[in-house]
């Protein structure tokens, strides 16, 4: 079972959107994903309800959302053998696991500074990966953001860049993902590239 924890120190980075899009890509490739949502806002749960698959998203609250209990919950899910992927939308920051830790950020200076402050607090052996999200297509901002992070040298980052595309918002609003769209698109290609880069 592959576990991806989408984390961050700043709101609005697109964690929920990426969790949903990666989960739908897993479905398209024959996987059986689950999204664990420990956030206060019900975005992922609302999306799953709109998709007609409310069981795809489980809300984790109270003691279950704290460190060791959270790890135990994942062990139980793994033992059940029902899921191939678990995407965690904002797990506890103190939580440490062998999960792939994905740190979405927007290519803006405040987001990158927050990322550089947040990433070192994670477990060194977890190897958190930053992913540039919601970049404006046709501009140099994503390239400049990755150059900035490379110069800082303290954060690994994905080579895949996710651009700000209308199709992400449209599919999310319809309870779907870009993987559900039959036609090829740049949005679908970006999510597929990230999915493959992460080894999912």
Give Cβ neighbours of residue 187 (< 8 Å, ≥ 6 apart). Answer: 163, 165, 167, 168, 178
SS3 163: strand
Record the pTM: 0.89
pLDDT by residue (tens digit) across 51-103? 777 677 776 655 555 666 677 777 878 888 889 999 988 766 555 566 788 99
SS3 88: strand
Phi-psi region of 130 (alpha: psi -120 to 50; beta: other; left: phi over 0): beta
- Domain positions in the chain: 2-195
Cβ 34 vs Cβ 76: under 8 Å: no
pLDDT by residue (tens digit) across 168-197? 999 998 889 999 988 899 999 999 999 999
DSSP 13-46: S-HHHHHHHHHHHHHHTT--EEEEE-SSS-HHHH
Phi, psi (rounded to 5 degrees) for 96: -125, 135
What whole-number distance in Å separates Cα of residue 84 and Cα of residue 77? 10
Number of H helices, E strands in the chain: 7, 7
Per-chain mean pLDDT for the chain: 84
Distance of CA 56 to the CA centre of its chain: 15
| Residue 35 in this model has a pLDDT that exceeds 60 | yes
Cβ 134 vs Cβ 106: under 8 Å: yes
What whole-number distance in Å separates Cα of residue 151 and Cα of residue 195? 26
Cβ 100 vs Cβ 129: under 8 Å: yes
* CATH-assigned architecture of domain 2-195: 3-Layer(aba) Sandwich (3.40)
Phi-psi region of 80 (alpha: psi -120 to 50; beta: other; left: phi over 0): alpha
């Amino acid at each position: 079972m592959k576990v991806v924890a989408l984390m961050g120190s700043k709101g609005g980075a697109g964690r929920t959107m990426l969790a949903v899009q990666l989960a739908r890509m897993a479905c398209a490739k024959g996987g059986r994903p689950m999204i664990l949502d420990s956030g206060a806002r019900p975005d992922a749960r609302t999306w799953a309800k709109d998709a007609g698959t409310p069981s795809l998203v489980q809300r984790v609250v109270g003691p279950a959302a704290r460190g060791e209990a959270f790890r135990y919950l994942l062990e139980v899910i793994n033992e059940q053998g029902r899921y191939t992927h678990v995407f965690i939308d904002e797990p506890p920051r103190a939580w440490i696991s062998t999960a792939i830790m994905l740190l979405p950020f927007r290519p803006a200076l405040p987001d990158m500074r927050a990322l550089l402050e947040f990433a070192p607090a994670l477990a060194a052996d977890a190897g958190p990966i930053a992913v540039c999200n919601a970049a404006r297509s046709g501009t140099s901002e994503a390239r400049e953001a990755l150059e900035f992070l490379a110069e800082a040298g303290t954060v690994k980052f994905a080579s895949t860049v996710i651009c700000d595309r209308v199709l992400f918002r449209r599919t999310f609003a319809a309870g779907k993902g870009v993987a559900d769209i039959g036609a090829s698109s740049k949005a679908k290609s970006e999510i597929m590239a990230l999915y493959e880069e992460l080894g999912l």
